[in-house]
Structure formats: structure tokens, C-alpha cells
Amino acid sequence: MEEKGTSPVGAGRNRITNNESGVFVPRKVNALIVGAGFAGATLAERLASQLGWECVVAEKRGHIGGNSMDRYDAAGVLVHAYGPHYFRSNSDRVVEYLGQFTEWHPVEYKILSWTDGDYWPFPVNLNTFEKLVGRPSSSEEMVATLEKWRVPVESPKNSEECIVSQVGWELYEKFFKGYTLKQWKREPKDLDASVCGRIPIRTNRDDRYLSEKFQALPSPSYTRLFEKMLSHPRIEVLLSTDYRDVASDLVFDRLIYTGSLDEYFGYRFGPLPYRSLRFEPETLPIEYFQPAMQVNYPNDHDFTRIVEIKHATGQKCPVTTIVREYPDDYGQGKERYYPIPAPDTAEIFRKYKELADQEKHVSFVGRLANYRYYNMDQVVAMALGEFEKIKGAAV
């Protein structure tokens, strides 16, 4: 972007403001915010409520909430529109901040893995180990056995090393290899250790999918949480609006950008690779379809998981909706869901990041703009941190 307060790209097509004489006068606001997901909504809320800033939020989709959006489907079942979103956090600050806009429905997220024709306790824990050895066991025996199975690797550099160094080849192949190949279209050894490293390995009977101290869903919904965050009178939300279509109609002090960096910089170093997904929902005339909110399919079928979010939301209704998730290449008409954490993609991102660091009047916040596999709470923490920086510079 050339200078403070001018449009970053292109000419405005949907002029959003005009004066009485009919002569177009760009509207002055404090911030143009690109995207109404957790990053954009948090910054809009903070800037409007704490600094009195006039904020315009441009969201290219027809709804707020970004990938965290939920809604009632035609059968009346509350579904997570873009895959299951299990809120969890170790940050009191983030939980307290969001707690101003929502109640919480506590959930112990529990899932299963379907492999070798059976449901398996997952993530790997003592129950999984007992099923594997076919008899009751103990944490001590499991620790001693894993010690024999594991492949010693001093500091695991990729996802294959991350798992085999903890549990060895058999459990790696049973639960991780096939799922990861399907999800990322890459061998685990070509992905950062942090990808499979997200999944805990436990030698006790704790069978929760996640380990963070706070685990709960916003109640009644994510969408209501976003509505409250964005309800401040100084926030205007433009849905179905690419920011490039309105940026030249505005004069703004600051751009908050939560979209993808390659798009912002006109793809000058080539596209940043992403994985996409196809969601196939199915409503069934039964109360529940499967024994857990999520069943993973590491080695069977083209889908990676079937999610029945009703188990987690606690909604009571006589029908259910399940969603099968099919990994997909990212391309025209698809959504960017997952940045791909790997050395080659990090190299492309590094080039864009150098350019981003020179944009002094732009904040690049969130999962896409930082090309990081962030969870929701991490994005909120990042947005709160960015708010403090902006506030510090404003006083």
C-alpha cells in the first residue's frame, strides 16, 4: 500500500457513501477491518468500545463468524458450518474477554477412531493400549512398552518423527499415517512436527481429545457471540463485500487485514498453499447416529471424519445431522481452510511476511494473514495483543 489512508487496491465498485450534492466524498473512518471472524470481530469490538473508533468491517461471505460460524440447518439441528469448532483455552484472559459476550456450555470433547473394523479410544491412552494388547494393563506397563516401541529421536523435526518417537510404528500406522496423508496430501515426514504434535499421547485413562484447562462451547451459539461482539454502534458490518470493492470509498487510518497474505500482495511470490475441505451433511430420522461427537477414519473411506456435533452442543431433538469431511485441494471457488505447516511453505510465507512488515498502517491478524495453524483462542489472544499495540500508539 502506498500511503496512509488511501485505498490499497482497485477502484470502489459499490460506493458506500456519498454527500448530498451528489459529489462523491470518501467517508472517513478510523479502521477498515477485513473479515468478520475471531480476528476481525475482536479488533472491531475493542477499537470501537475502548477507543471510540468508527470501524467498517468488510466480510466477503454472507455471514459473520468466519470459519467458526454455526447455524440451525433445515431440520433444526445446530451445526458448525465449517467443521467442528471445539473451543478450548489455557488463557484466562481470552476466556474472560469472550465471556463478556457469551455464556459457556462446558463439554468434555471425546472422540473415537474407526480402524481395523472397530472403534478405538483416541487419542492414544491407556484404554487404547489395553485394547491393543487385549487385556487389562497399567500406566507403568504402557510406559515401559512404549519405551520399547518408540524410535529414539532427539528433537523430532517432522510429524512422522513426532509420532514414532512417542509410540513407534504400529500405532503411527494405525492412527496417524493414513489420516495425515488424506488430510494434507503429504507424507507426515513432509509436515512440521507441530501438525501431529497437536494430538496428545497419554499413558493414563484421560480420553479427552484436548488437554487445555478450559473446554466449552459458546452458548447458545458462536453466531450469537459474534452478533454481540459486533453490535457496537460504531461498528458497521458489510456482508458479501470484498474489501477491495469498498476500500477506495473510505479514508481510514488503519487497515486490519485478516485475509490471506498472498492475495493482499497480488500473489507476487506465487500462491501460498492451503488445504480445503468439502463438507457433506446428512440429516437422519434418529436421535444419534454414532457413539461420539467425532469419529476419525484414518484408514477407511475418502473422508477423514464424521462429526455429529449434537453430542457436544447438548441439543435435544429427535433427529440428527452428521457431516462427513472430505479433504480437498484448494483452488478456484474453494475456501482456504488450512495453511500447510511445512518448511517449503514457510519459505513462501517468509517472503510475504517481509513485505507485510513494511506496511506500517496495516495490522495482519489471524490464521490466514499469519499463515499459521492457529486455534480460535490463539487468534483472539493475537487480536487482543494487536489492540494493545494500536492503543499504545494512539495515546
- Measured between alpha carbons, how far is 395 from 392 in angstroms, rounded to an integer? 6
Min separation Cβ 118 and ligand UDP, Å: 14
Residues 84-113 within binding reach of ligand UDP (CB under 6 A): 113
Binding track over 321-340 against ligand FAD, x by CB under 6 A? ----------------x---
Q: Which amino acid is at 317?
A: C
Binding track over 194-233 against ligand UDP, x by CB under 6 A? -xx-xx----------------------------------
- Measured between alpha carbons, how far is 238 from 381 in angstroms, rounded to an integer? 24
H helices present in the chain, as ranges: 38-51, 92-99, 126-133, 139-149, 159-167, 169-171, 178-184, 193-196, 222-229, 261-264, 310-313, 343-356, 376-394
**CB-nearer residue toward ligand UDP: 43 or 107:** 107
Number of residues this chain uses to bind ligand UDP (CB under 6 A): 13
**CB-nearer residue toward ligand UDP: 122 or 387:** 122
- Measured between alpha carbons, how far is 202 from 184 in angstroms, rounded to an integer? 25
**CB-nearer residue toward ligand UDP: 248 or 370:** 370
User: Taking CB under 6 A as the rule, does residue 59 contact ligand FAD?
Assistant: yes
* DSSP-derived secondary structure for 322-352: EEEEEEEE--TT----EE--SHHHHHHHHHH
- Which residue in this structure is represented by grid cell 511453505? 345
**Among the listed residues 82, 252, 297, 303, the single contact to ligand FAD using CB under 6 A:** 82
Q: Which does 61 bind (CB under 5 to 8 A by kind): ligand FAD, ligand UDP, none?
A: ligand FAD
Min separation Cβ 375 and ligand UDP, Å: 8
Binding track over 158-197 against ligand UDP, x by CB under 6 A? -----------------xx--xx--x-----------xx-
**CB-nearer residue toward ligand FAD: 53 or 243:** 243
DSSP category for residue 208: -
Min separation Cβ 69 and ligand FAD, Å: 8
Taking the CA atoms of residue 65, residue 70, residue 74 and residue 77 in that order, the dihedral angle to the nearest 10 degrees is -170
User: Taking CB under 6 A as the rule, does residue 243 contact ligand FAD?
Assistant: yes
Q: Which does 179 bind (CB under 5 to 8 A by kind): ligand FAD, ligand UDP, none?
A: ligand UDP
Min separation Cβ 305 and ligand FAD, Å: 10
- Measured between alpha carbons, how far is 249 from 318 in angstroms, rounded to an integer? 50
**Whether the Cβ atoms of residue 215 and residue 88 lie closer than 8 Å to each other:** yes
- Dmax over CA atoms of the chain, in Å, equals 83
Within 10 angstroms of residue 224's Cβ, the number of other Cβ atoms is 16
- Measured between alpha carbons, how far is 255 from 249 in angstroms, rounded to an integer? 14
**Among the listed residues 242, 249, 262, 308, the single contact to ligand FAD using CB under 6 A:** 242
User: Taking CB under 6 A as the rule, does residue 311 contact ligand FAD?
Assistant: no
Listed residue (43, 37, 24, 22) closest to 391, CA to CA? 43
Q: What are phi and psi of 274, to 5 degrees?
A: -135, 160
Using CB under 6 A as the criterion, which residues of the chain lie in contact with ligand FAD when the complex forms? 34-40, 58-61, 66-68, 82-87, 242-243, 258-259, 277, 337, 366-368, 374-377, 379
Using CB under 6 A as the criterion, which residues of the chain lie in contact with ligand UDP when the complex forms? 113, 122, 175-176, 179-180, 183, 195-196, 198-199, 296, 298
